[in-house]
């Protein structure tokens, strides 16, 4: 039920006043688009979360997000991207602005050329291999890969993760005993899973280690004449078989 007041001369004042009895309040509708203020806040959050590229979920859960928002909830401050797909779309838009050559291997190649003038210890993308039937990109953390000469063993995750189109992503990690934790030495991107690709991948990985650390990986050098090297070759052959099977 409601009470409605209308002006005596309706033509001059085309308005009405409605007074509801026992009104039912609804929460304000969720904004479907980012306001300029929200977009500015979102970009500030992304800048604080770390270097691009970033996953949308990482931005929402990053410790720096709480700091930027002074403890307030992300979804309350930036309601325009409450929908996961909308948040991902916005993050992708920012990535496209930053990576003008795209997020695929073409973008990696472009970034590789930009990093070529940097000192070796500041480079992240260290090698690009282009073959008729595949492409490989080798990335490494120079400050971490030096520890490869101190580890007891390397952990290789044989499950490549598809990241975009036909591009697979592979991590190489090692357990550092003195630190008591697993460290990420580098990541490799490829467009194929053939035997020839894996042969090039391993060779390029160890060659990159040698270039960055100025030292050959001991399992390929010092153990060449030992019994352990035979064991290592057997394990290596088994791994290769597992990967291409």
Q: pLDDT tens, 38-51? A: 888 988 988 888 76
Predicted local confidence at residue 29, as pLDDT? 52
138 and 75 fall within a common domain: no
Give, as one character, the DSSP assignment of residue 25: -
* Band of residue 243 on the pLDDT scale cut at 50, 70, 90: very low
* Per-residue model confidence as pLDDT tens digits over 57-93: 888 888 888 889 988 888 888 888 877 778 888 888 8
Predicted local confidence at residue 225, as pLDDT? 43
Higher pLDDT, 9 or 190: 190
Q: Identify whether the C-beta of residue 68 lies closer than 8 Å to the C-beta of residue 152.
A: no
Is residue 137 a part of any domain in this protein?
yes
Q: How many domains does the chain have?
A: 2
142 and 50 fall within a common domain: no
* Per-residue model confidence as pLDDT tens digits over 229-240: 433 443 444 444
93 and 109 fall within a common domain: no
Is residue 143 a part of any domain in this protein?
yes
Is residue 231 a part of any domain in this protein?
no
Structure tokens at 96: 């496209």
Residue at a domain's end among 64, 98, 132: 98
Give, as one character, the DSSP assignment of residue 232: H
115 and 207 fall within a common domain: yes
44 and 165 fall within a common domain: no
Is residue 21 a part of any domain in this protein?
no
What DSSP letter does each residue of 107-173 carry, written as one string?
HHHHHHHHHTTS-GGG-SEEEEEE-SS-EEEEEE-HHHHGGGGT-S-EEE----EEEETTEEEEEEE
Domain coverage including residue 81: 36-98
Is residue 178 a part of any domain in this protein?
yes
Predicted local confidence at residue 98, as pLDDT? 77
Predicted local confidence at residue 144, as pLDDT? 84
pTM metric for this prediction: 0.56
Is residue 230 a part of any domain in this protein?
no
73 and 110 fall within a common domain: no
Is residue 23 a part of any domain in this protein?
no
Is residue 142 a part of any domain in this protein?
yes
Higher pLDDT, 80 or 158: 80
Residue at a domain's end among 56, 75, 98: 98
174 and 66 fall within a common domain: no
* Band of residue 222 on the pLDDT scale cut at 50, 70, 90: very low
**Mean pLDDT of the residues in the chain:** 76
171 and 50 fall within a common domain: no
Q: What is the mean pLDDT of residues 6-27?
A: 73
* Band of residue 10 on the pLDDT scale cut at 50, 70, 90: low
183 and 137 fall within a common domain: yes
- Position 241 pLDDT exceeds 70: no
* Per-residue model confidence as pLDDT tens digits over 101-143: 777 778 888 888 888 888 888 888 888 888 888 888 888 888 8
Q: Please name every residue paired with 3 in a beta bridge, in sequence order, or none if there are none.
A: 19
Higher pLDDT, 23 or 134: 134
Predicted local confidence at residue 141, as pLDDT? 85
88 and 124 fall within a common domain: no
């Amino acid at each position: 039920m409601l009470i409605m007041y209308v002006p005596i001369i309706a033509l001059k004042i085309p308005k009405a006043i409605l007074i509801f009895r026992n009104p039912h309040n609804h929460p304000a509708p969720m904004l479907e688009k980012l306001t300029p203020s929200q977009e500015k806040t979102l970009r500030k959050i992304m800048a604080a979360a770390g270097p691009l590229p970033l996953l949308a979920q990482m931005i929402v859960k990053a410790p720096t997000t709480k700091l930027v928002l002074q403890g307030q909830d992300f979804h309350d401050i930036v309601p325009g991207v409450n929908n996961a797909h909308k948040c991902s779309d916005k993050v992708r838009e920012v990535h496209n602005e930053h990576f003008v050559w795209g997020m695929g291997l073409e973008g990696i190649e472009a970034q590789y050329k930009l990093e070529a003038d940097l000192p070796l210890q500041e480079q992240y993308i260290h090698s690009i291999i282009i073959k008729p039937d595949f492409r490989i990109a080798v990335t490494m953390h120079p400050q971490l890969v030096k520890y490869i000469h101190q580890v007891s063993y390397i952990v290789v995750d044989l499950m490549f993760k598809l990241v975009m189109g036909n591009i697979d992503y592979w991590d190489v990690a090692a357990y550092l005993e003195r630190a008591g934790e697993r460290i990420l030495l580098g990541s490799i991107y490829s467009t194929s899973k053939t035997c020839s690709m894996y042969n090039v991948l391993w060779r390029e990985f160890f060659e990159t280690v040698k270039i960055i650390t100025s030292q050959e990986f001991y399992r390929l050098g010092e153990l060449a004449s030992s019994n352990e090297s035979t064991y290592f070759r057997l394990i290596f052959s088994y791994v290769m078989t597992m990967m291409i099977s």
